[in-house]
Amino acid sequence: MADFYQEILSLRAIRAYEDRPLSDEHLDAIVEAARWTGSSKNRQDWSFVVVTDRDRLHGLAECGDFTQPVRDSAATIVLVKEPGGHDFDLGRAAQNMMLAAKAIGVASCPITLHRPAEARQFLGLSAEQEARYAVAFGYPAPNAAPAKFGGRKPKDEVVRYDRA
């Protein structure tokens, strides 16, 4: 239990990956973590596009501004908001994928697709589907470390009790 809690607290965005594919077992475990995420009214108004082809990863990276992790990843999973879907649900699925990945030794980094219209076209989505966020995955490179600008605001600054 204490270990589980520490794993949650120590989850960080990792942007340097080994140049090798994820095993099918590991990739499937990550996808399953997304699929089993709870959603508003259990509607599951989402889908997940798993990109592993190197050329496709480079193309996908053009849809956002800070996407080097996508180019370097073994797999990047795009969270697609289906009609009626909620960002909150997609955020939960992303976090579950990241935590599940960590549990099996896979590093990850959330990614913003700053040009979702381009992402929609690139992925072949319909006008009703939205692709604004993704998560890049890979086995951590030997020198992989969290960004130096990490850390968090002090508790006093961000936590209030009973009223603002």
Ligand X SMILES: Cc1cc2nc3c(=O)[nH]c(=O)nc-3n(C[C@H](O)[C@H](O)[C@H](O)COP(=O)(O)O)c2cc1C
List residues binding ligand X (CB under 6 A).
12-13, 15, 64, 66, 69, 109-112, 133, 146-147, 150
**Residue with Cβ nearer ligand X (44 or 112):** 112
Nearest distance from residue 163's CB to ligand X, in Å?
A: 27
- Rounded to an integer, what distance in angstroms lies between the CA atom of residue 11 and that of residue 73? 18
CA angle in degrees (0–180, nearest 5) for 67-34-17: 35
Q: Taking CB positions, which residue lies at the least distance from ligand X?
A: 150
Nearest distance from residue 65's CB to ligand X, in Å?
A: 7
**Residue with Cβ nearer ligand X (57 or 162):** 57
The dihedral of CA 101, 106, 112, 115: what is its sign? negative
Residue 109 three-state SS: strand
- Rounded to an integer, what distance in angstroms lies between the CA atom of residue 134 and that of residue 132? 7
**Residue with Cβ nearer ligand X (69 or 138):** 69
